[in-house]
Amino acid sequence: MFDVYNLLINNSLYCWHNDCFTGIGNIKLYKMRTTKLLFTTLTLAVLNLQKTGCYTEVIIEDEYIDEPFLNVNALLKSHELWYVDINATSGNGEVPFLQRAFTISFVGETVFANNNIVGIGKTGNGFGLDVGYFNTASERLQINHDVDGFWSLEVFVVDNNTIELYDSHSRTSYYLEGYQRNNFDYDMVFYDNIEYLLQEYDVWEKVATSKEGLVNDFDSENYLQFYIDGNRSMFNSSVDPSGMHLDDVLWDYSGKYSLFDVYNDETLKTLTLDYDFMGNDYFELYVINDSTIELYHSSSGTVYKFKGKGFITYLKSDISQLDKKRTKSEYGTMKVVRKRKI
């Protein structure tokens, strides 16, 4: 039995069989590629070898299958916002502008991105900032990004509201969930990305302390700062008086902080500040808006309101754009009960 594929040479095959020269010629191979899968149907016509004749002809042909046409341009514009589910990313590489963005949009020939959690839903009429332009030549997404240059990505449909953008060079896939601006869950984005909200201001200044609550050491803290140092989530705190110029604030303490989900309470996050000299301070964290948070000190019953100062804009250039990248994150889960009465 002949292995047709191993013996294919210049569209003709020859072999010796029982001292008889057998030719297999006129082989026609046609290949087609569908969007995701390669379907090849081979029709093999083998004529019986005749005792009196040595020549046998085998004709192999593919059957053409009409593949469904994917209109990438229409697909990308079918949703106004594409939320980048960073935790679903697969692969060891990265596409920098997708690694930074919370959402991307395709309007006309322009790519927009919300790279900041602060202002999302308001900046650029909800689309974010203009970060480049795109086309869908050859049914691929080709982007000229203002900072990251040219990228050519394959586009695949996952389901009615989800697409995959695949970078073949780094073998990395990003999964984007489609929304319209009027049905986008901004609360979900804030709580799923709360750490970025904390880090998008240079300083958080305490602007109010509730009358209720026991006296405790945190009463004297007037400024907080959150940042990443390598793989560590860090904070600074200061007892300097309110109203200071941000550049004049002196930081009295630096330590680690942790964020946690709360079991059976999707709208609550908890914050723990690690003070070596007085142990951990534990708070329920409430987002009032994209520039105001409240910390409820559960052990004393005190509510502290902080306003963000010195907004860090992750635009299309400069060091800040290159420094900030989203990473996969899974908060630990606390089995606690919300103590603040609202």
Domains of the chain by start residue, with CATH: 12-62 (no CATH), 72-184 (2.40.128), 193-334 (2.40.128)
Residue 320 is predicted with a pLDDT of: 43
Residue 184 is predicted with a pLDDT of: 94
Helix or strand or coil: residue 30?
Answer: coil
Top-ranked range on mean pLDDT: pick from 10-24, 49-63, 133-147, 307-321:
133-147
Looking at residue 29, the DSSP 8-state letter turns out to be -
Read off the pLDDT of each residue in 277-288 and give the average, rounded to a whole number: 87
Report whether pLDDT(44) > 70. Answer: no
- Per-residue model confidence as pLDDT tens digits over 325-341: 777 666 778 888 899 98
Query: Is there a contact between 104 and 113 (Cβ–Cβ < 8 Å)?
Result: yes
- Per-residue model confidence as pLDDT tens digits over 85-138: 999 999 989 999 999 999 999 999 999 999 999 999 899 999 999 999 999 988
pLDDT over 90, % of the chain = 60
More confident residue, 184 or 60: 184
Read off the pLDDT of each residue in 302-325 and give the average, rounded to a whole number: 72
Note the pTM of the prediction, 2 decimals: 0.73
**Rounded mean pLDDT of the chain?**
81
Q: Which two tokens stand for residue 25?
A: 């010629």
Read off the pLDDT of each residue in 319-328 and give the average, rounded to a whole number: 56
Residue 332 is predicted with a pLDDT of: 78
List b or e across 289-328, with b for residues whose CB sees 16 or more CB atoms inside 10 angstroms: ebbebbbbbbebebbbbbbbbeeeebbbeeeebeebebee
Write out the E strands in 75-124. Answer: 81-84, 103-107, 110-114
Residue 319 is predicted with a pLDDT of: 40
Read off the pLDDT of each residue in 14-36 and give the average, rounded to a whole number: 35
Using CA atoms, how far apart are residues 319 and 316, in angstroms rounded to an integer?
A: 10
Read off the pLDDT of each residue in 301-310 and give the average, rounded to a whole number: 97
Contacts of 85 (CB under 8 A, 6+ apart): 175, 176, 177
Burial tier of 228 (Cβ tally within 10 Å: 0-12, 13-18, 19+) = middle
